[in-house]
Structure 1
Amino acid sequence: MTDAQAPELTRTNPLAPAPEGARTAADVVTPELVAALTKGVGGSGRTANHTPFTGEKLADLPESTPEDVARAFERARAAQTAWAAVPVRRRAAVLLRFHDLVLQRQAEVLDLIQLETGKARLHAHEEVLAVAVAARHYGRRAPAYLRPRRHAGALPALTKVTELRHPRGVVGQIAPWNYPLELSVGDALPAFVAGNAVVMKPDTETALTALWARDLLVEAGLPAEVFQVVIGDGPVVGPEVVRHADYVSFTGSTRTGREVARGAAGRLVGVSLELGGKNAMLVLEDADVEKAAAGAVRACFSSAGQLCISIERIYVHASVADAFLERFAARTRALRLGTALAYGAEMGSLVGPRQLETVERHVADAVERGAKLLAGGVARPDAGPYFYEPTILEGVTDDMAVCDEETFGPVVAVHRFTSEDEAIARAEATPYGLNSSVWTRDARRGRSVAARLRTGTVNINEGYAPAYGSVQSPMGGMKDSGLGRRHGLEGILKYTEAQTVAEQRLLPMAPSLGMDDRAYAEFMTRGLRLMKAFRFR
């Protein structure tokens, strides 16, 4: 369907035609592209992925068996030793070249992301930005993060201690469908620069994006065998990745994350997990309601709400609730939905029937139990099979599924509060702890409230982008939202094993110089007291 033929996908402000929007899936996902991207992917069977925009098949893909997964790990392990021997600055240079290539060729991957996820193009572009920033950061900082570090020894001047960082080996990565560029290759970049190989299992429905990223990394100088991709059904292929990996990186649901953690624990290998969330936004009485309403639209409806760190609950002070809701609902009702491979649409599609069913079930349950619809609340099959209007609910109570279950769609529940303590207590009444947002004109107050929230990231006067985009700082979940962190020092050291090398010089750590056991013990005791007195650490 050309852009000129596309239906008006909003009731109030239809998406204006854009010339580039006339491209179709067939124009982008050609047999030649699929053949090039899947070259070398082990698969004894065949599977397919589909575009949410129409539900039609995009491509036939190799389907990996457990034996294919085992062979991928064998190839990766054979290549990893030589890759780890490459000086870290040369490994980092691959990431810097990859940064440039991603920015130069972003139009290619934007088309793929949109077709595989159903996102609006601007939301797909968030992934390009995130991956480029991560590549630049680790390309510049990895040599410092991984350098040998000197530490004080047991005996000053007599014990020389160096901490070394070794790659873990082959990292098994299980990536989700919702951010197929950022949460696949974006998470793999620090693993590669630390000297590891990676065997990645992307979601089948978004495998082309991950394969495109692999192809670009190889073009940037990464040895092809160091980055293996396996494709297949999660319950079949996922456990095999965990069974062979030296470390596991997983992003997905809390339920599946627990299974991954159990599998890794049984083999005594490390694991990092970014899991679910029921993220809260607090609008305090001194907030700029106009800015808060605009920010809430971004926080709740980017990528149609299919973002682990998006906002699903808003707590707004009673004194500004009416003003906030008037502006928030008006902005939400005016959002432009669209399918064109072009900038302009402000929200895209849900990824498939399962997400649509969850959204419809949560909204219907809430309305039947007395919640009020302030915006949305209906599917849009005229736009595409899985489109759903961005939805605001008020009057949500504890007995409604939408209250504490993760929706992972364009639905937000708004609640009123009268005190700061009440707002924090209600925001914290969830087993999740991934992201939160605080809106206030008082920066000091915002930081004070943020420190009381048990979430891995808190954004003041924005929804999620500042914390996530600050890649020098760690990002991850507390409570049921995960283990470990991505980004910054923690995001690369998790892919390494620490080794302490201690060299004893001149005197042994034992009785010497004619001392007997008692004299040695008294000597060491006096030494410890002196070290404390002179503030040795």
Structure 2
Amino acid sequence: MTSFDQSLADLFPGKADIPAAFDIPELHQRSYLSNGEMVAWNGKVHTVLSPICIKTDNGLERRVIGSYPLCTPSEALQSLEAAVNAYNDGRGEWPTMSVGDRIAALEKFTGKMIAKKDEVVKLIMWEIGKSYADSIKEFDRTVEYINATIDAYKDVDRASSRFVIEQGIIGQIRRSPLGVVLCMGPFNYPLNETFTTLIPALLMGNTILFKPPKHGALLHFPLLEAFRECFPKGVMNTIYGPGSDIIPPLMESGKINVLTLIGSSKVANQLKKMHPKVNRLRAILGLDAKNAAIITSQADIELAVKECVLGSLSFNGQRCTAIKIIFVHNAVKDAFLERLTAEVEKLKFGMPWEKDVFLTPLPEPNKPQYLKDCIEDAIANGAKVLNENGGKTNHTFVFPAILFPVNDKMKVYSEEQFGPLIPVVPFDDIETPIQYLIHSEHGQQTSLFSNDADELAHLIDPLVNQVSRVNINCQCQRGPDIFPFTGRKDSAEATLSVGDALRAFSIRSMVATKQTPQNKALINEIVSEQASNFLSTKYIF
């Protein structure tokens, strides 16, 4: 047995081998937040199995780390009614509250959230197999996002605090909420990606119905009491259970004003069709992506390899922004593939708490078999696994496989693998990858690798009309959070960034009157007495 095979066989620990500093007690959630109360639950539950397996007398078994409620449509509809009543047709306490008071509530929540950091970080690690270091980064980045959103909201409000006078009309234009938001986040960034929609939706005065992802649900439980304490009754509500059971009745009610989902385009399409008044439904969606890297003959091979390894395999490739297919020019393919293979084979794999670990177990129970099927399909259609250990598996762990040469007959050519597979396509004519992006169902990002300015210029111009972000000599990514994050085709609907998200979850509203002495006196009286939270010149620092 090689040293690699031995390390793979010994990958998972015994219970006594888990470092005490990273261990957690089982968390069996028996309540959920609805209508300002932690509602007790005595019904069916979902047992949460960690992707981390434990050696037992019966062999390797996924560790049980807790459980959470499996609510029915009845409980989901009750939570919906709580959100509807809290919004109260825009007359509720939260949607009519001043900007300053809403910000104060969110700042109070943020303080309570930070106090739960250690618990939430360990739950991220154990629930989805993310490294401890990256789990900390996800938590810290989420707090930074909340603070940046608050700052952006202050800027929006300052810009709106003035009156506009045009053609004899006095007006004040501000942003107002949309109503009840159904928020569904993803498993791969269960805290950060969820909060990049939930927080701006909340801050703009909407009321929330939040369904955590199946993998990554428990980590939100430590924050529910903070939500309950910091926001008015019914403003924040959680629902649990199979999405196929509890989401259709919510959509069919017609009482959901905003659907925000980070998931698949297929699911998003189905949900939107369920709404009886689709023109009243705003959708803010982060969907599928099949981001391509293009390595031209003028590329810096060392740099391209470094960025493609990070882009393809960070968090095991389970990111919508991951590089999921690579096109490499035949003139440099041998050098590129040799370096890529060497770098992938050197990647450290292990348990999430290990220092500098890069590859970890996968949370989706069916993912190892799916990846195996993709590899077998690629081989059957003419590809080879280039790296010696590519595709080797131990229960929930799969070592990355580099597949070459990939063609359009293979699943990995068009399907989003969302895992540690690196499909590589050779090309001679630059039109080959361009045509791939043109005909792709997805249009999120691409990465271009070249040191030729003229070549890059001629690629940038057509590709910015196919994808929403073109990365030059670096991997695809979301951040920084002030940059727009969106996609074309089936990759997204609406734009998310710190500023864009505030606009996405609100609508411009205005108060206007003719410029007469009587009307000016009325407006001055309202403003001077601070009688209205909307019609105001109050300046927030």
Q: TM-score, normalization: structure 1?
A: 0.82
CA contact (8 A) 1:98 1:135 kept: no
* Equivalences for residues 180-259 of structure 1 within 5 A: 180-215=190-225, 221-223=230-232, 225-242=234-251, 243=253, 244-259=255-270
SS of 2:95's partner is helix
State the distance in 2 between where 1:123 and 1:69 align: 33
Deviation per CA, 1:367-398: give whole Å up to 9, x if none. Answer: 122101112442421xxx22111111111111
SS of 1:212's partner is helix
Deviation per CA, 1:496-535: give whole Å up to 9, x if none. Answer: 132233322359xxxxxxxxxxxxxxxxxxxxxxxxxxxx
* Equivalences for residues 452-467 of structure 1 within 5 A: 452-453=462-463, 454-465=466-477
SS of 2:393's partner is coil
Is the deviation greater in 221-230 or in 59-68? 221-230
**Shift, 1:301, TM fit:** 0.9
Q: Which amino acid aligns with 1:349?
A: P
1:124 to 135, 138, 141: 135
* Cα distance, 1:373–1:106 mapped onto 2, change above 3 Å: same
Which residue is 2:26 aligned to? 30
State the distance in 1 between where 2:126 and 2:468 align: 31
1:63 to 67, 70, 83: 70
Q: Which amino acid aligns with 1:480?
A: D
State the distance in 2 between where 1:345 and 1:146 align: 44
1:429 to 410, 420, 439: 439
Q: What is the Cα-based RMSD across aligned positions, in Å?
A: 3.2
**Shift, 1:288, TM fit:** 2.0
State the distance in 2 between where 1:440 and 1:163 align: 46
State the distance in 1 between where 2:108 and 2:472 align: 34
CA contact (8 A) 2:183 2:210 kept: yes
SS of 2:485's partner is coil
CA contact (8 A) 2:116 2:222 kept: no
SS of 1:475's partner is coil
Q: Which amino acid aligns with 2:273?
A: R
Which residue is 1:524 aligned to? none
CA contact (8 A) 2:130 2:352 kept: no
**Shift, 1:473, TM fit:** 2.3
**Shift, 1:93, TM fit:** 4.0
Q: Which has the higher helix share?
A: 1
State the distance in 2 between where 1:365 and 1:476 align: 31
State the distance in 1 between where 2:469 and 2:435 align: 17
2:375 to 363, 377, 399: 363
**Shift, 1:341, TM fit:** 2.7
Deviation per CA, 1:261-299: give whole Å up to 9, x if none. Answer: 222464421111111111101123332211211111111
SS of 2:69's partner is strand
* Cα distance, 1:252–1:372 mapped onto 2, change above 3 Å: same
State the distance in 2 between where 1:193 and 1:349 align: 36
State the distance in 1 between where 2:462 and 2:40 align: 48
Is the deviation greater in 99-108 or in 490-499? 99-108
Q: Which amino acid aligns with 2:312?
A: C
Q: Percent of counterpart pairs with the same letter?
A: 25
Segments ≥4 residues shifted beyond 6 Å: 13-16, 36-39, 149-153
Which residue is 2:409 aligned to? 399
Which residue is 1:45 aligned to? 44
Q: TM-score, normalization: structure 2?
A: 0.81
* 2:376 is aligned with 1:378: no
Which residue is 1:72 aligned to? 79
**Shift, 1:141, TM fit:** 0.9
State the distance in 2 between where 1:125 and 1:265 align: 42
Aligned length: 489
CA contact (8 A) 1:21 1:342 kept: no
Which residue is 2:482 aligned to? 472
Q: Which amino acid aligns with 2:244?
A: P
Q: Which amino acid aligns with 1:65?
A: T
- Where does structure 2 lack aligned partners over 5 or more consecutive residues? 54-61, 518-541
